[in-house]
Amino acid sequence: MTKTATKTTIKTTPTTIAIDGTFASGKGTLAKKLAAYFGYAYLDTGKLYRAVGLRALEAKADFTDGLALAKLAKKVTAKELDNPVLKSGPVGAAASKVAIYAEVRAALYDFQRGFAANPGSPYKGAILDGRDIGTVICPDADVKLYIDASPDVRAERRYKELLSYGEDVSLAKVTADLTERDNRDQNRAEAPLKPAVNAHLLDTTNLSIDAAFLRVKALVETILPHK
Ligand code: C5P
């Protein structure tokens, strides 16, 4: 029998975990916990759209002019992602309005893909959460998750969160905003929110954050046993 040399391919690119899901599904909290546990860099990509939304609100921009909004998107820097104002309800709504434009989305591609490709030392990889990470931004991600929960539970969570920021809101208003946001995110032509074909689905309606984390952690350890 002749021996043939076998060539081992070693994957050198950093590991990527893509987490998509609905608004207030718990995906951000899960992503942060996973990143801390596995030693990965974390990017909340919603903040990029929120930063564009905030810039547009401040500039009193025309929300029907995708090209003008894309110009604002091109100016977004990592530094402004720490602005606590980004967390507010009005900025979130503005984010989902600017996010419908292909030009705005394209202006934010490089930032997101660059983060995944170069998470930087000492990180072993990157976790990105958003709406189109597994479908558009990182289609080759090593692990893809899609997180959802019932609209009522998500509205309740978001309501409590906004109260904790000192916002004066009612549960009814939060519920109405959530329905509007779901519709816009799921039905837009550009990168609509949907699970990637090979995404692992998790419904957090009846799960505490710790229970959800343990499930996802176990899943990641199964898929990436050597990480
Ligand atoms: O996740 P978050 O609520 O911060 O996102 C704000 C909005 O930004 C979303 O409702 C969505 O319209 C948009 N977004 C997006 N694609 C992403 C992340 C957020 O379209 N990857």
120 in a structural domain: yes
| Strand-pair partners of 130 | 20
What pLDDT does residue 225 have? 81
5 in a structural domain: no
Give the domain extent around 58.
16-217
Q: From the CA of 137, give the closest atom in ligand 1.
A: 21
Q: Encode 142-176: b = buried (16+ Cβ within 10 Å), e = exposed.
A: bbbbbbbbebebbbbbbbeebeeeeeeeeeeebbe
116 in a structural domain: yes
4 in a structural domain: no
222 in a structural domain: no
Q: Which amino acid is at 226?
A: H
Rounded distance from Cα 49 to ligand 1 centre (Å): 6
Q: How many CA atoms lie within 13 A of 159 on its CB side?
A: 14
Among 19, 20, 45, 108, the mutation site with the greatest number of ligand 1 atoms within 8 A of its Cβ is: 45
CATH of the domain at 212: 3.40.50.300
Category of 26 on φ-ψ map: left (φ > 0), alpha (ψ -120 to 50) or beta: left
Q: Which two tokens stand for residue 137?
A: 């931004």
Closest-CA residue to 44 (of 150, 115, 104): 115
Among 29, 54, 96, the mutation site with the greatest number of ligand 1 atoms within 8 A of its Cβ is: 96
Query: What's the pTM value of the predicted model, to 2 decimals?
Result: 0.92
Q: Which residues of the chain have pLDDT under 50?
A: 1-5, 9
Closest-CA residue to 169 (of 81, 57, 93, 96): 93
Query: How far, rounded to the nearest angstrom, does the alpha carbon of residue 71 sit from its chain's CA centroid?
Result: 22
What pLDDT does residue 193 have? 95
